[in-house]
């Protein structure tokens, strides 16, 4: 077992921990950040697996675009929520 093996094993452990905790965390924002980390670690693992094409693509698509879209959705949800709350407040005041 050489150093690379140890490194690989560490990454594997990390990726499993990230995957499980991204599913288990209650807070959605935290969950998304963990998921982003998961993607980055995955792309490092793919470098170790002699697949640089995959690493580049996963870093750009998984950690980049997917995460941007997820964050954007979260922000939009927040906006909708705020909008609805304001409307409701106005309604209450009207009553």
Partner 1 sequence: MLDSLWNNRIPAAAVLLFAVGFTTLLLHRNLLKKIIGLNIMDTAAYLFLASLGYIAGRKPPIITDGNTDPAAYANPLPAGLVLTGIVVSVSVTALMLALTLRLYRRYHTLDLDKIYMMARDEQEDET
Partner 2 sequence: MKSKKKTKVSERLRAWDQSSFDLTDALELNPPLPKAPTPEDRESLPVIDRIEARQFAGFRKIYPWLAGLLGLVMSAFLLLGVLKLPPYGAADNPPHNEVMDRYVGEGMHETGAVNTVAGVILDYRAFDTLGESHVLYTAAAAVLILLLSSSRKGEEPPELRRIMEDDPILRNTAKVVVPFVLLFGVYIILNGHLGPGGGFAGGAILGGGLILYAIAFGYESLERLINDRSYRVTIAACLCFYSAAKCYSFYCGANGLETIFSTGTPGAILSAGLILPLNVAVGLVVALTMYGFYSVFQRGRI
The footprint of partner 1 (CB under 8 A) covers 9, 12, 15-16, 19-20, 22-23, 28, 31-32, 35, 38-39, 42, 45-46, 49-54, 57-58, 61-62, 65-66, 69-70, 73-74, 76-77, 80-81, 84
Residue 25 has phi, psi (to 5 degrees) of -60, 145
C-alpha distances (whole Å) from 53 to each of 28, 44, 47, 59 are 30, 12, 9, 10
12 vs 89, beta carbon nearer partner 1: 12
Least Å distance, CB 93 to partner 1, is 20
Report helix, strand or coil for 73: helix
């Amino acid at each position: 077992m050489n150093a690379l093996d140890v490194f690989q094993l560490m990454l594997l452990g990390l990726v499993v921990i990230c995957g499980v905790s991204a599913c288990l965390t209650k807070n959605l924002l935290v969950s998304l950040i963990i998921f982003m980390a998961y993607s980055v670690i995955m792309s490092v693992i793919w470098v170790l697996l002699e697949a640089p094409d995959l690493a580049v693509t996963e870093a750009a698509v998984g950690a980049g675009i997917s995460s941007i879209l997820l964050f954007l959705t979260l922000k939009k949800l927040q906006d909708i929520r705020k909008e609805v709350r304001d409307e409701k407040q106005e309604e209450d005041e009207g009553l």
